[in-house]
Amino acid sequence: MIIHEDQRIYEAKQTVLQLARNGYQPQEEQMIRVAGREGAAIMKLGARQMMLAKAISEHDHLIASKLAYVLAGGDVRAGTLVSEQYMLDLEREAFLSLCGEPKTQARMEHMLMKGKPLRN
């Protein structure tokens, strides 16, 4: 743990250099078996039921739908093996699309300004 901000980059660099000297090799990319479109449909149904019961807002439902798509591994069949990078790409795509939503921007701004979530 580095307390002084001006030393953090230096210490991080030293750590990386030490790893390189010790012959560090990244782990092989893992494949992940995903629930696919069928799993996403189940998660989305649960989110829709919560919205209809007024437990979550329409925007919460949008977020939950995008999250279900990502967690299920996108538009693939159940049991499909996908790479970690594929999952990260799905996550980035969902996050960036949500960042373009005015209600998401309002939530982010409110959290930064007030330190509390905005329920819109």
Q: Is residue 7 part of a domain?
A: no
Residue 10 lies in a domain: no
Contact 76, 34 (CB under 8 A): yes
By percentage, how much of the chain surpasses pLDDT 70? 100
> DSSP string of 44-64?
HHHHHHHHHTTSS-HHHHHHH
Does 4 fall in a domain?
A: no
**With contact defined as beta carbons under 8 Å apart, do 59 and 100 qualify?**
no
- What value does the mean pLDDT of the chain take? 96
- More confident: 26 or 18: 18
Residue 19 lies in a domain: no
Output the pLDDT for position 6. 86
For 78, other C-beta atoms within 10 Å of its C-beta total 14
Does some domain include residue 100? yes
Task: Domain of residue 39: give its range.
Answer: 30-114
pLDDT band at 13 (very low <50, low <70, confident <90, very high): very high
* pLDDT per position as a tens digit, 1-12: 788 888 999 999
In this structure, is residue 40 part of a structural domain?
Answer: yes
Q: What is the per-residue pLDDT for 9?
A: 92
Q: Is 23 among the domain residues?
A: no
Number of domains in the chain: 1
Q: What are 61-114's pLDDT values in tens digits?
A: 999 999 999 999 999 999 999 999 999 999 999 999 999 999 999 999 999 999
Q: Residue 111's pLDDT is what?
A: 96
3-state secondary structure at position 28: coil
Q: Is residue 22 part of a domain?
A: no
